[in-house]
Chains A and B, each alone.
Chain A
Amino acid sequence: MAKMTLEELRKLREGKKKEMTQRDSGDKSAQIIIGMGTCGIAAGAKEAFDAFLDELNSHDITDTRITQTGCMGLCFSEPTVEVDVPGMPRVIYGNVDGKVARRIVREHIIEKKLVSDHIFDKPAADIIK
């Protein structure tokens, strides 16, 4: 890959925007929030981040945002990831390695089924008032 300039980056983005407008599915977008505190980083949250990005792209899913947050208070089950898909319950998943991240994309985001064996129903007691 040749070294990309900011100008090239801008042009690529504009090209993608045009494609998006033509597609315009009208769906509300999903959001993936990755816990990236000291605990999340140490447990491999960045591997989960890469896996989400790669799996979403391989399925041509574009209407999704990936954001990050600090420690969610579930340090014992890092990496933790909150997934918000319109029309589905907001869920916090724990122990999300690359493999689980790919399952979340396929099962939760595409098939609209919860990945039950990795769900945590609520954050730790010192996080919720």
Chain B
Amino acid sequence: MHATICDLITDLVQNSIEARAKEITLNVEETETNLNVVIADNGKGMSAETLAKAKDPFWSDGTKHAHRKVGLGLPFLFQTSEMTGGSARIESEEGVGTTVTLHLDPTNVDLPMFGDFTTAAVTLMTYGFDGNLTIKRSLGGKEYEVSKNELTEALGDLNDLESLTLLKQFIASQEEDLLTL
């Protein structure tokens, strides 16, 4: 399982990017008793048969690396939910898109640490893909929403060092606000 929930989220959103989605929404909702993550994309989607195979850690579709026999992204998702009393669901339709829904119990002692959401968001926003990514984040009743399109419009090339630095400050300020009473 990934060391932090943010690592798991990063990995799952990258699946949407690799599925060539044009619109991706990442929704992370935290309360004292629930941690809900929903990732929805309009990428290429999967058939029921492919989805069943994708849950197997010793299967990969072979498009990225011809001889690879492992694919740990989705197995990590199910391992995390199963080992911590949570639930995970994937709904997918070929040509339409995929939605991953994860419900976790933040009070479960086996749950990995949440991790650094600022860096996770910065790396996802700057991963380098054509589509848009919208992040919706709420914590204890406070929330913020930001999209890659808005950030590109404000900053230009997001991978430029100046932009990266400002982007990190921007996300950090949103995260800090969530924690302020």
Contacts and interface: CB of A to CB of B under 8 A. Distances in A.
Contacts of B127: 36, 68
A49 B168 CA distance: 11
Contacts of A61: 161
Contact of A71 (B64, B67, B120, B174): B64
B161 A67 contact: no
Tell me what chain B mostly uses at the interface: helix, strand, loop, or mixed: helix
A126 B65 contact: yes
B72 A9 contact: no
A86 interface: no
Nearest to A47: B119
Interface in B71-100: 72-73, 76
Contact of A13 (B2, B10, B154): B154
Contacts of A17: 162
A67 B128 contact: yes
Q: Which bracket fits the contact residues of A?
A: 35 or more
A1 B176 contact: yes
A50 B163 contact: no
B65 A127 contact: yes
Nearest to B65: A126
Given A4-B174, A9-B154, A46-B10, A67 B65 contact: no
A22 interface: no
Interface in B9-66: 10-11, 14, 18, 64-66
A9 B174 CA distance: 12
Contact of A68 (B7, B72, B123): B123
Interface of B: 2-3, 6-7, 10-11, 14, 18, 64-68, 72-73, 76, 116, 119-120, 122-123, 126-128, 144, 146, 150-151, 153-157, 159-166, 168-170, 172-174, 176-177
Top 5 A-B residue pairs of the complex, sorted by shortest distance between their CB atoms = A3-B177, A10-B154, A4-B173, A126-B67, A1-B173
